Amino acid sequence: MKPTTIQDLSDFNELFATISSENIKYFPVRHHSPACSYFLKHYIQKLEPDYILVEGPHHFSHLIPQITDDDLKPPFAIYTTFENKKTKQGEEGRQSSFYPFCDYSPELVALRAGKEIGAHMEFFDLGFPEQIENERTFYGNTPKLGALIDDVYLRRSVYLQSLAKNAGCRDEDELWDHWFESRVKPDEPANIEHTLQFINHVAAYCAMARRDYTDEMLQAEGTFAREKFMAERIAELIDSVAVDDTNILIVTGGFHTIALPRLVKKHKKLSKIRKSPECDNYLIQYSFDQIDRLSGYGAGMPSPYFHQLNWDYINKKISEPPVSTLLTEIARQSTKKKLDQKISTADTIQALVQANTMASLKGRKAVTREDIFDAVRSCYVKGSIEIEGLRILEIAKNTLSGDRIGQLPSTVSLPPVLQEFKRHCESLGIKLDQVHRKRWVLDIYRKTKHQKISRWLHCLNFIGSPFARLVSSPQFFSGSSIKLTQEEWEISWSPLVDSHLIDLSIHGVSIKEICLYRLKERQSALVQTGESRDAMAMVTLLVEICRMGIQETMDTLMGDIQVVLNEEENLVHQISALQQLLMLGSLKPLLNLTSLAGVEEIYVLCYQRICYLLRLIITDDTDYIREILQNLSTMRELIVASDAETELSDNDSTIDRQLLIDSLEHRLSEKPMLYPVLYGAYFGLLYGLGQKTDRELTDTINVQFLSAYSKPAERVGFFYGLISTHRDLLWHHEDIIKTLSDLLEQWSDHEFLTLLPEVRLVFSELTPNEIDRVAENISDIHNTAPIGTLYHDDINDEILMWNVNLSMQVSEILNKQGLGDWISQGKK
Amino acid sequence: MVSATNIIRQPYESLYKDELEALKVNDKDLKPEGWLLSPKSVRKFILGSSDELKYKNKKIQVSQKFYGDSGLIDRCIVTLMSNRALMLVGDPGTAKSMLSELLAAAISGQSSNTIQGTAGTTEDQIYYSWNYALLIAEGPSENALIPAPIYLGMKQGHLVRFEEITRCAPEIQDALIGALSESQLKIPELKHQDTIFAKRGFNIIATANLRDRGVNEMSSALKRRFNFETVMPISDTQVELELVQKQAQQLLVDINLPSELDQDILNLLVTTFQDLRFGKTEEGHAIDRPSTVMSTAEAVSVAYSAALEANYFNNGVLKPGGLVKQLLGTAIKDNKDDIKKVQQYFEIVVKQRGKKSKLWKDFYNSRKYLDIQ
């Protein structure tokens, strides 16, 4: 079906006639436009229609009594959601959308005005599921915006862009504000002439915008399907009432107002209404911040707070025009945020004058938001707009946008989960009336109240709610210092928090129930992916459960973990699991005693298993070995910590250190011999545990260095492993350095050069401080004077190596010719 | 368009005399006191208009003179109507002075009340000084007084232009505070008429170059009395192309040289400038920006010089190589690193484009002119 197209100017008159015919009147609106709301309200009051049809999915109609409740304070939204059974590729099963409403939204104003005159009211657009189906992936990944999509047509119109330029406006937004929004002044009440003129102008405006769209585009976006549906509903209504005595008012986006009258006229018969999936529709709180963001998607009107103030002003609820309130507020905010540039009262006065002058210069009756921004640019910025201006403009943008959140009356039905959430927030003193980030530091070891909050937040986190974010949590500490550590959270509410909970509400009536559901999901997922064999993944899950304070499923999980730990062959995984379990120890306060016992059992099991694997390990996979090295120091820390604890508490430690010692010793003496790096690591551990003497140490080093490994890495390997588990040997144990020094001197130049990279590697992980200490030791041993600067900037590596090689070659030649003395004189 | 003259540069009120007269005659809107044109007409004068104005049996079309954000012009005009002065800031070569001159020509009918800010600017050059011979001979009198721009501006109710205000010593800058806040000038030497009260229409347009000395050194008392407007470099290639073409052509016409400039070569020039100015090519590469400002004014200068060279030395044929030679003069103002960056640009971006376009290939092949070692 072809929509109306305007061929020449005379078509306009025809258009105007069709939208304001005898008993059936159309009112074209732009969503979230205060000017449209103003004239619409006046129109309804004058016309007193019997029926009002409002654009919006028809399944919203039953919410109208709640929407028109006096206790409902915008901004709010209707959140609609359904399960999409036939999932095409990549489409999620669940589809949802927000339909926001503000005080000044024409749809809301129409419903409120209609309630006052007792009109029969309905939403009459195509249902949300059908809209999804019809619309191909035109908007890609942007969230579904419901009714606001219509505005996108206006923004994208090429015609309107050039019209804007001719009118001296920057873009289509400013053009709309200039022509329509600034028409209203509180001291000039609306009369019917103005209203009719307004209707016609908006219609003409939208008609011109519609010219830029081809039928194909409109078809693809699902517009035709919606207009067809709406036209049929109108026709149905006309047929069912005595038209001559009934007034019908149809409120839709202006883009559709152009097409509907003709479609209604041409309509022949009603199409069958297909069965569509059931939608759930909820009223939820919404925020100005979110509404402002929609303009980033090309829909809606930006700066909601500005429009709210305007609305209040033209309805005489406030006496100050928005421009003065806002400019003052921006100045105040800049002082509050401690900007370098202080904005004085004189500046504010100047800005006010500037805004008003700008408006009158452009021939507007009222100041638009662009005028306010221009005033800020001119008067509040003392410097370049790209440098000094950035912050103040951001403040201006945020001030005009606002941070208001709507309030729902208590009679609104919410899913139990959401109700529980809100009650809990209230009891904790979290006010959900502003979109602010809040930092929370929880003292989980000393305050019971904080423990409870921590559990609640972890639960929310676990189910994926955007409400809370864990900034930092205590790491493993031992002893008394643990009591001082805290958890830090960042809380911020947004409408997405509510919608997220609504989506999950099918899985439970409380947050705890939803957690259990998710838990089961995770566990079965682990089994499916084979990760259940992975001790790490399971233990991580265990830690999360403990943090949430949910004890119910712990037993089965722990049973599974035991099984897995017994089967885990990878040493690194086992050690990582142990590290996680150590962390559990720090969570003691969050658990009750019975569950703790089970955890301790696993802990011990893990430890035993590690010892077992250490005892039996046979590998020469260098990557695996490197990983092991990185984790072996954990074992040492563990022993140290447990020793400390034993001292403090007088109890027997749960860790049997002898087991570790025995395992290590056993492996050292067994064949096949350990790969040198591991050998050194084991040795270092044993030395640290007091099982090896210094003499043994030096002897072993000597043996290792002289050994017949062919690869340089292996020859130095022992040393490397040793240092990695017991670094302080380098400066505490004098003999080590001496031994190493002796060995280095024994090497030939050629050997030295070949082994140099490996030896460097050993020392490469030391911190600068540690390097200094080692250097001191070395110089002490050799009783040398300082060797001077070690860094030369003007020579690069290439030149150095070239020089070294050249020197070697020259000295070889000289030696061959019996002239070796010439060189050795230069040496020490 | 005015034909060749023997003056290097005419002030805008002479250059565009017809347009200004036509606007005045056809001006139906309200004029602020002291202004020769209404704000709407001033805007038309600066941004151009498609309307044809009747004047002395001729049809005059007002040309576009300023290329950039129209919102900026609106704000400037509103500021000049208010009791605050106007400060135009921005990188060099962004047409701040040109805009200042256009505003003065349109609003006050003359743009010569100008103070050139330098390190040696004194109060004499701002307010007034004395003819000392006459002063001693006859004593203080109005005869003996040599007016400077602020005096004249106040007396006549005209705009005063202060170029490069941040180059002046801060104490000298602060001398303006008195004039701006009191809107009057005291001349204690004269017994009668010792105060000049500024007539309506008086205001100050200052310009400041952010590259050299920023506005940080300006006292906050002085800053307070100005509305700051930032003039941005042109980001639209098409617009800049139009501008460069127009200005370069005008310069050539003024000295009676053929002014046809190859569109494609100019496009190449403008694209190069945009790339180096913003540090990003249209293919999406990020490139190292030279520290020197690659402004539109310099682009015009390169085009003009290249055309000159072509005309005088090359039988009038302008080639990409000619551009490269002139580019050197503009790109390496004080920084050897900048040549390296431009050479790098040639090696990466120009070479790449040369594979698809002969023009860019010629451009690339002329890179030898960039080596100065």
pLDDT digit string, tens, across residues B224-258: 899 999 999 888 888 899 889 988 888 888 888 88
User: Taking 80 as the threshold, does the pLDDT of residue A154 lie above it?
Assistant: no
**How far apart (Å, rounded) are the C-alpha atoms in residues A464 and A459?**
9
* Closest to B296 (Cα-Cα) out of B278, B273, B327, B315: B273
Shared-domain flag, residues A196 and A169: yes
pLDDT band at A139 (very low <50, low <70, confident <90, very high): very low
Whether A269 maps to a domain, the answer reads yes
Q: What is the pLDDT of residue A299?
A: 64
Q: What's the pLDDT tens digit per position in B324-333? A: 888 887 766 6
The pair of structure tokens assigned to A188 is 């000039």
Of the two residues A649 and B127, the one the predictor is more confident about is: B127
Chain A: residues touching B (Cβ < 8 Å): 168, 170, 344, 346-347, 350, 353-354, 357-358, 361-362, 370, 374, 377-379, 381-386, 388-389
Whether A176 maps to a domain, the answer reads yes
**How far apart (Å, rounded) are the C-alpha atoms in residues A3 and B123?**
71
Q: What is the pLDDT of residue A1?
A: 32
User: Taking 90 as the threshold, does the pLDDT of residue A347 lie above it?
Assistant: yes
* Closest to A499 (Cα-Cα) out of A74, A31, A99, A148: A99
% of chain A with per-residue pLDDT over 70: 84
Closest residue in A to B44 (Cα) is A168
**Residues of B whose CB is below 8 A from A381:** 228, 230
User: Which residue is it, tokens 């509400």?
Assistant: A505
**Residues of A whose CB is below 8 A from B228:** 378, 381-385, 388
Segment A117-142 shows an average pLDDT of: 75
**How far apart (Å, rounded) are the C-alpha atoms in residues A198 and B5?**
55
Shared-domain flag, residues A757 and A806: no
**Residues of B whose CB is below 8 A from A370:** 71
Of the two residues A794 and A131, the one the predictor is more confident about is: A131
Is the Cβ–Cβ distance between A262 and A8 less than 8 Å? no
A378 with B227: Cβ contact below 8 A: yes
B230 with A374: Cβ contact below 8 A: no
Is the Cβ–Cβ distance between A345 and A65 less than 8 Å? no
Of the two residues B86 and A21, the one the predictor is more confident about is: B86
Whether A319 maps to a domain, the answer reads no
Among A170, A346, A386, the residue with its CB nearest the CB of B71 is: A170
Among B71, B82, B210, the residue with its CB nearest the CB of A374 is: B71
**Residues of B whose CB is below 8 A from A358:** 74-75, 78
Q: Domain end: A507, A540, A567, which one?
A: A507
Whether A496 maps to a domain, the answer reads yes
| Distance (Å) of CA A616 to CA A346, A627, A664 | 82, 17, 9
- Across A257-261, A775-779, A795-799, the highest mean pLDDT is recorded for A257-261
**Residues of A whose CB is below 8 A from B210:** 384
Q: What is the pLDDT of residue A213?
A: 80
CA A4 to chain B, closest CA, distance in angstroms equals: 32
Q: What is the pLDDT of residue A25?
A: 92
Shared-domain flag, residues A805 and A773: no
Name the pairing type of β-strands A248-253 and B184-186. unpaired
Chain B interface, best mutation among A340, A349, A361, A393, by max B CB count within 10 A: A361
Q: Domain end: A242, A262, A297, which one?
A: A297
Q: What is the pLDDT of residue A649?
A: 57
**Residues of B whose CB is below 8 A from A361:** 39-40, 74, 77-78
Q: What is the pLDDT of residue A304?
A: 93
User: Taking 70 as the threshold, does the pLDDT of residue A296 lie above it?
Assistant: no
Where are the extended beta strands (E) located within A43-193? 51-57, 76-83, 94-101, 120-125
Chain B: residues touching A (Cβ < 8 Å): 39-40, 43, 70-71, 74-75, 77-79, 81-84, 89-90, 210, 214-215, 220, 223-224, 226-230, 232
Shared-domain flag, residues A731 and A801: no
pLDDT band at A595 (very low <50, low <70, confident <90, very high): low
* Closest to B323 (Cα-Cα) out of B340, B344, B348, B306: B306
Shared-domain flag, residues A218 and A230: yes
CA B76 to chain A, closest CA, distance in angstroms equals: 8
**Residues of B whose CB is below 8 A from A383:** 89, 214-215, 223, 228
The pair of structure tokens assigned to A488 is 């830090």
Q: What is the pLDDT of residue B34?
A: 93
Segment A588-597 shows an average pLDDT of: 56
Q: What is the pLDDT of residue A558?
A: 77
Shared-domain flag, residues A18 and A164: yes
Shared-domain flag, residues A104 and A234: yes
pLDDT band at A737 (very low <50, low <70, confident <90, very high): confident
φ, ψ for residue A97, nearest 5 deg: -160, 155
Whether A75 maps to a domain, the answer reads yes
User: Taking 70 as the threshold, does the pLDDT of residue A432 lie above it?
Assistant: yes
Closest residue in A to B215 (Cα) is A383
Of the two residues A708 and A43, the one the predictor is more confident about is: A43
Among B39, B71, B232, the residue with its CB nearest the CB of A361 is: B39
B90 with A384: Cβ contact below 8 A: yes
Lowest mean pLDDT among A8-17, A357-366, A444-453, B48-57: A8-17
H-helix or E-strand spanning residue B147: strand B145-147
pLDDT band at B46 (very low <50, low <70, confident <90, very high): very high
Segment A258-281 shows an average pLDDT of: 79
**Which one-letter amino acid corresponds to residue B55?**
Y
Q: What is the pLDDT of residue A478?
A: 45
The answer, yes or no, to whether ipTM is higher than 0.90 is no
pLDDT band at A345 (very low <50, low <70, confident <90, very high): very high
Segment A681-710 shows an average pLDDT of: 77
**Residues of A whose CB is below 8 A from B230:** 381, 384-386, 389
* Closest to A498 (Cα-Cα) out of A81, A68, A57: A81
Q: What's the pLDDT tens digit per position in B59-98? A: 889 999 998 888 999 999 999 999 899 999 988 888 899 9
Q: What's the pLDDT tens digit per position in A652-691? A: 556 777 888 888 888 888 877 778 788 888 888 888 888 8
Closest residue in A to B69 (Cα) is A170
B78 with A361: Cβ contact below 8 A: yes
**Residues of B whose CB is below 8 A from A360:** none
CA B267 to chain A, closest CA, distance in angstroms equals: 25
User: Taking 50 as the threshold, does the pLDDT of residue A593 lie above it?
Assistant: no
% of chain A with per-residue pLDDT over 90: 23
Q: What is the pLDDT of residue A702?
A: 75
Segment A48-73 shows an average pLDDT of: 93
Residues of the domain holding A214: 10-297
The count of structural domains within chain A is 4
User: Taking 90 as the threshold, does the pLDDT of residue A39 lie above it?
Assistant: yes
Q: Is A419 exposed, middle or buried (0-12, 13-18, 19+ CB in 10 A)?
A: middle
Shared-domain flag, residues A751 and A817: no
Whether A455 maps to a domain, the answer reads yes
Shared-domain flag, residues A192 and A263: yes
Q: What is the pLDDT of residue B122?
A: 92
Shared-domain flag, residues A132 and A207: yes
Q: What is the pLDDT of residue A92?
A: 53
**Which long-range contacts (C-beta less than 8 Å, at least 24 apart) are formed by B1-6?**
B1/B250, B1/B253, B3/B253, B4/B253, B4/B254, B4/B255, B4/B256, B5/B254
H-helix or E-strand spanning residue A513: helix A511-529
Shared-domain flag, residues A744 and A809: no
Query: What residue spans of A587-621 are helical by DSSP H?
Result: 593-616
User: Taking 80 as the threshold, does the pLDDT of residue B185 lie above it?
Assistant: yes
Shared-domain flag, residues A101 and A29: yes
Among A344, A370, A383, the residue with its CB nearest the CB of B89 is: A383
Is the Cβ–Cβ distance between A145 and A98 less than 8 Å? yes
Among B82, B223, B232, the residue with its CB nearest the CB of A354 is: B82
Q: What is the pLDDT of residue A29?
A: 93
Q: Angle at CA A556, nearest 5°, toward A551 and A558?
A: 80
Q: Across all residues in chain A, what is the average pLDDT?
A: 81
Q: Is A98 exposed, middle or buried (0-12, 13-18, 19+ CB in 10 A)?
A: buried
Among B70, B74, B232, the residue with its CB nearest the CB of A361 is: B74
Q: What is the pLDDT of residue A4?
A: 45
Q: What is the pLDDT of residue A3?
A: 41
Of the two residues A28 and A561, the one the predictor is more confident about is: A28
**Residues of A whose CB is below 8 A from B88:** none
Q: Domain end: A231, A264, A297, which one?
A: A297
User: Taking 70 as the threshold, does the pLDDT of residue B184 lie above it?
Assistant: yes
Segment A71-90 shows an average pLDDT of: 77
Whether A51 maps to a domain, the answer reads yes
Whether A552 maps to a domain, the answer reads no
**Residues of A whose CB is below 8 A from B40:** 361
pLDDT band at A141 (very low <50, low <70, confident <90, very high): very low
Name the pairing type of β-strands A437-442 and A487-492. antiparallel
Residue A733, CA atoms < 13 Å, CB-side half-sphere? 21
